[in-house]
Amino acid sequence: MSYLKATEDLYREAAITPDVGLCCTTNPIWQYPGLSVPKIMQEMNYGCGSTVSAQDLTGNPKVLYVGVGGGMELLQFAYFSRQKEGVIGVDVVDEMLEASRSNFKIAEQENPWFSSEFVKLLKGDALALPLDDQSVDVAAQNCLFNIFKEEDLRRAVSEMYRVLKPHGRLVISDPVCEIPLNDALREDDRLRALCISGSIPLSAYLKVLTDAGFGTIEVRARRLYRVLSPEHYPVEALIPIESVEVAAIKDPMPEDGPCIFTGKSAVYYGKEPHFDDGKGHVLIQNQPLAVCDKTAAALASEHPEIYISDSTWHYQGGGCC
Ligand SMILES: C[S@@+](CC[C@H](N)C(=O)[O-])C[C@H]1O[C@@H](n2cnc3c(N)ncnc32)[C@H](O)[C@@H]1O
């Protein structure tokens, strides 16, 4: 049986019998004003972060969500869009689509503003999305892509790139791991499906996004997700796994490579009122400016009177690349 089939089987079970311990997150279930997330959706939160940010949802965007789970994040996206079929949910597992459909009915009872019509559910595969080219503004997935082996991961990301409009956003949350995982872990289909053993280092994960063509990347959150210990897993030493939240924006690729924001800021502390590098970066004396890693490296190497902070891994917008 292929790992993809094993994954479908695992989530078929998790659709029929909610498993509260399956995937987990240290961040809170977002409770926007007037939003009630049904208990069953919280129990079926199989994600590892959040992909829903108000900053991505201005201008009435069409949202695609791949791998619906219990439907919680689709409800959260619908909270912002509030229109018929404003959110499209795609999942390959019939039982998961049915479970989320039934959960949306409960959400209707708890949320006077919500109608199940706000979400259109489609049967489909992340590796061959049933959507036209350039048909959505925001595409999201939470804790699915980490399950995919490299070739499938590249395919899933290129499918998201294909269906996004120019300047559209891919918002994703997944586990990553800086320590190479051994073959016993990587080839364990069940652990992979459980989002335990498919993780790759953050830099490799981001490279898959930039290789697909996304010109701007924002690393918005990075936090501890799991620890694999020799008592519980086939490992020789403790292996921490983190989860990240990343936005990949379908901007044209700059000639000198992608702009990757990881939360670095620059401060000019020289004698002049401001510093201008002639490439679009103007730093007012002793005022922080968020910069992408490429610009941070260039400023640090050429201008000693500029201080560059470490990556916070919690970039929240602003600045220039
Ligand atoms: C780890 S769960 C995450 C669910 C949801 N995103 C959340 O955060 O709770 C993975 C989801 O992807 C679905 N899935 C598995 N393989 C898929 C595939 N090849 N294409 C689309 N969806 C898939 C599963 O049915 C399940 O709903």
Q: What is the pLDDT of residues 234-256, one digit of tens each?
A: 999 999 999 999 999 999 999 99
Closest protein CA for atom 2 of ligand 1? 46
Average pLDDT, the chain: 95
How much distance in Å is there from the Cα of 57 to the middle of ligand 1? 22
Segments of the chain assigned E as strands: 63-66, 87-91, 119-123, 136-142, 164-176, 216-228, 239-249, 259-261, 264-268, 274-276, 282-284, 289-291, 306-308
Average pLDDT in the 42-61 region?
93
* Percent of the chain residues past pLDDT 90, beyond the cut: 91
Q: For ligand 1, atom 17, which residue shows the shortest CA distance?
A: 92
Alpha-carbon torsion 198, 20, 48, 62, what sign? positive
- Contact between 224 and 315 (Cβ < 8 Å): no
Specify the residue with its C-alpha closest to ligand 1, atom 4: 69
| H runs (alpha helix) in 187-303 | 189-193, 202-211, 293-302
Instruction: Using DSSP, state whether 276 is helix, strand or coil.
Output: strand
The pLDDT tens digits for 4-24 are 999 999 999 999 988 777 766
Question: 160 C-alpha to center of ligand 1: Å?
Answer: 15
In angstroms, rounded to a whole number, what is the distance separating the alpha carbons of residues 59 and 54? 11
pLDDT band at 30 (very low <50, low <70, confident <90, very high): confident
Mean pLDDT throughout 39-53?
Answer: 93
- Are the beta carbons of 163 and 141 closer than 8 angstroms? no
Which residues 6+ apart lie within 8 Å of 175 measured at CB? 48, 143, 146, 195, 196, 198, 199, 225, 226, 241, 242, 243, 244
- Candidates 247, 245, 252, 246; CA nearest to 213 is 252
- The pLDDT value recorded for residue 188 is 96
The edge-to-edge listing of strands for the beta sheet with 239-249 is 119-123, 87-91, 63-66, 136-142, 164-176, 239-249, 216-228, 259-261
Distance 268 CA to ligand 1 centre (A): 46
Atom of ligand 1 nearest to the CA of 126: 20
What is the rounded distance in angstroms from the CA atom of residue 195 to the CA atom of residue 146? Answer: 7
Cα dihedral: 173, 237, 20, 124 (round 10): 40
Residue nearest to atom 12 of ligand 1 (CA): 67
Most ligand 1 atoms within 8 A of CB, residue of 2, 3, 7, 11 to mutate: 11
pLDDT in tens, 279-310: 889 999 999 999 999 999 999 998 989 999 99
Protein residues whose CB sits closer than 6 Å to any atom of ligand 1: 4, 7-8, 11, 23, 45-47, 66-69, 73, 90-93, 96, 125-127, 142-144, 195
Query: Would residue 71 be called left, alpha or beta, if left means φ above 0 and alpha means ψ between -120 and 50 degrees?
Result: left
pLDDT of residue 26: 57
Of 259 and 1, more confident? 259
Task: Supply φ then ψ for residue 302, to 5 degrees.
Answer: -105, -15
Q: Please give the distance, rounded to the nearest whole angstrom, from the Cα atom of residue 128 to the centre of ligand 1.
A: 14
Ligand 1 probe mutation, 4, 144, 148, most atoms within 8 A of CB: 144
Distance (Å, whole) CA 174 – CA 247: 12
Separation of CA 8 and ligand 1 centre (Å): 8
Question: Nearest C-alpha to atom 27 of ligand 1 is from which residue?
Answer: 69
What is the whole-number distance in angstroms between the Cα of residue 308 and the centre of ligand 1?
39
Of 210, 170, 198, the closest CA to residue 293 belongs to 210
pTM to 2 decimal places: 0.96
Q: Whose CA is nearest to atom 9 of ligand 1?
A: 46
Q: What is the pLDDT of residues 123-173, one digit of tens each?
A: 999 999 999 999 999 999 999 999 999 999 999 999 999 999 999 999 999
